[in-house]
Amino acid sequence: MAAPDTLRTDDWWRDAAIYQVYPRSFADGDGDGTGDLAGVRARLPYLAELGVDAIWFTPWYASPLVDGGYDVADYRTIDPAFGTLAEAEKLIAEARDLGLRVIIDIVPNHVSDQHAWFRAALAAGPGSPERARFHFRPGRGENGELPPNDWPSQFSGNTWTRVPDGEWYLHLFTPEQPDLNWSHPDVRREHEEVLRFWFERGVAGVRIDSAALLTKDPELRDFIDGVDPHPYIDQDDIHDIYRSWRAIADEYGGVFVGEVWLPDPERFARYLRPDELHTAFNFNFLTCPWEADRLRRTIDDTLAEHAPVGAPATWVLCNHDVTRTVTRYGRDDTGFDFAKKRFGTRTDPTLGTRRARAAALLTLALPGSVYLYQGEELGLPEADIPRDRIQDPMHFRSGGTDPGRDGCRVPIPWEAEAPAYGFGTDPGREPWLPQPDDWARYAVDRQAADPGSMLTLYRTALELRRTEAGFGDGPLGWLPSPEGVLAFARAEGLLCVANLSGDPVPLPPHTDILLASDELPAHGTIPPDTAVWLRT
């Protein structure tokens, strides 16, 4: 179990293992088929035993759940489907008693169309101060029938919706997620108050959704690819916002992790300057194919881009938006690209699982913090959701070609023999997304008793990472290795070797084998798609 005294270190976030909970699908404590805070509270001991340091909750606020809660109607209320504010406060305290910090999710780019501000804006009409908090504009064309500009959406489809009085409003995601106008002082003030509201309630950190999208080109000029800077991604003035947020976080000892998807390493690192965000998700690593040379380059680039600003790297294999690792690594194309998601992509789950096990040891040995997404520790594959049960707007906005993200959001199997695999407390209640028929084998109770399971691998690896010297923040040095093999040394003689080649390779000289992702043959080799931790 994580020792509560780990809560005392100020720089815990530099090498933490952080577990992402998608509340709707984690555990259903009131038997209505939807996960909730009661479910999480009942399962906190599981997370402590797993050996993580913190829990990041995707949005749990009042929301119509059009985009899984990333359409927030009220930041100061918990959605009734999930529980109450008092319960969230209890959860934060109970987690702390078990040595687990809580990170919440703030979605500053947009709100729900049911948010009081947007409802007031619609009611108040064109030119009103209420509309100034959003991006309302007249349309183009003779009668204003065309959208005000040509901006591409972050989901496919339109970025402007016309309201009955003829004006249009901007939404980079769905029409139910109107974008806020970040040059408006109310927007800044409100978010600063929301941060304080949650820091006062004891949260240790904040994940910032769509962190590079907040500020827009002041004239909302058209997007001319490759000519001018992008009109809404990574505007220079965005950093002022994060500087003021950082001052607030520092008052409370809170930390930030930004969702920053930017290919340019120098632009990415700007978000991590010492007076801005503490960390940002490493999506280059997440999207990288399972190929040794490309992974090595990504690791080197990551460390090089973080070094000048002194920020620790983060390592992420999956989250609630991307195809689950086991499925991705079993495909011909082992990388990840939103634009390429299609139904029926062939995968070899045995191969994918073997690689995901090796990837777990590789990731947990790298310098910095790591994020685990619920079910990753169980080796859950991406589920096929019947088309008539899909809920994700990404699917509908693609015209039905993109399967969407529900396949990685399926309720967790806790007990092999129980109805809905023990997800809920009401045996007669079906979970909000269907669980595949063959998931008993992934259930927590079954895996907990199996020394060869993914869960046992994660538990053991997280424990070693916490108790053995050399893991976490600090230097990494590459070792000479055969082609297709990643071999590096950390401090204190700790080595990690991952064999991504198609052939067995010899184990380097060592004094101890700490852990291997699969069984090692007696004759001192590492089989393909296997990783080991050694001590020299």
Residues at the site binding ligand NOJ, with contacts judged by CB under 6 A: 67-68, 70, 107, 173, 209-210, 259, 320-321
* Cβ-based nearer residue to ligand NOJ, 260 or 462: 260
Helices and strands in the chain, H and E counts: 14, 20
- Comparing C-alpha atoms, which of 42, 114, 40, 113 is closest to residue 82? 40
Give the dihedral of Cα atoms 10, 16, 20, 21; nearest 10 deg. -60
Whole-number Å distance between alpha carbons of 33 and 56: 22
Q: Of residues 251, 293, 426, 512, which has the active-site annotation?
A: 251
Q: Which amino acid is at 77?
A: T
* Cβ-based nearer residue to ligand NOJ, 14 or 320: 320
* Cβ-based nearer residue to ligand NOJ, 259 or 382: 259
* Cβ-based nearer residue to ligand NOJ, 173 or 439: 173
* Cβ-based nearer residue to ligand NOJ, 209 or 376: 209
In the complex, the smallest distance separating the C-beta of residue 392 from ligand NOJ, rounded to whole angstroms, is 8
In the complex, the smallest distance separating the C-beta of residue 403 from ligand NOJ, rounded to whole angstroms, is 15
In the complex, the smallest distance separating the C-beta of residue 63 from ligand NOJ, rounded to whole angstroms, is 11
In the complex, the smallest distance separating the C-beta of residue 68 from ligand NOJ, rounded to whole angstroms, is 6
In the complex, the smallest distance separating the C-beta of residue 172 from ligand NOJ, rounded to whole angstroms, is 8
Answer for the pair 394, 67: CB distance below 8 angstroms, yes or no: no
In the complex, the smallest distance separating the C-beta of residue 67 from ligand NOJ, rounded to whole angstroms, is 5
How is residue 277 written in tokens?
Answer: 């965000």
Report the chain's C-alpha Rg in angstroms: 23
Whole-number Å distance between alpha carbons of 182 and 213: 10
For 78, the enclosing helix (H) or strand (E) is strand 74-78
Give me the residue whose beta carbon is nearest to ligand NOJ.
Answer: 70
* Cβ-based nearer residue to ligand NOJ, 252 or 338: 338
Q: Of residues 209, 259, 321, 392, which has the active-site annotation?
A: 209
* Cβ-based nearer residue to ligand NOJ, 15 or 402: 402
Give how far Cα 201 sits from Cα of 43, 84, 93, 244, Å: 21, 13, 9, 20
Tokens 């050399």 locate to: 470
In the complex, the smallest distance separating the C-beta of residue 412 from ligand NOJ, rounded to whole angstroms, is 18
- Comparing C-alpha atoms, which of 266, 215, 222 is closest to residue 108? 215
Q: What is Dmax (Cα atoms) for the chain?
A: 78
- Comparing C-alpha atoms, which of 78, 317, 115, 108 is closest to residue 208? 108
In the complex, the smallest distance separating the C-beta of residue 76 from ligand NOJ, rounded to whole angstroms, is 19
* Cβ-based nearer residue to ligand NOJ, 316 or 532: 316
Answer for the pair 490, 496: CB distance below 8 angstroms, yes or no: yes
Q: Which amino acid is at 517?
A: S
- The DSSP secondary-structure symbol of 3 reads -
Q: Which amino acid is at 440?
A: A
Give how far Cα 319 sits from Cα of 72, 316, 373, 489, Å: 20, 8, 5, 28
Give how far Cα 408 sits from Cα of 63, 461, 484, Å: 21, 23, 29
Answer for the pair 232, 216: CB distance below 8 angstroms, yes or no: yes
Indicate if 209 belongs to the active site.
yes
For the annotated catalytic residues, the residue numbers are 209, 251
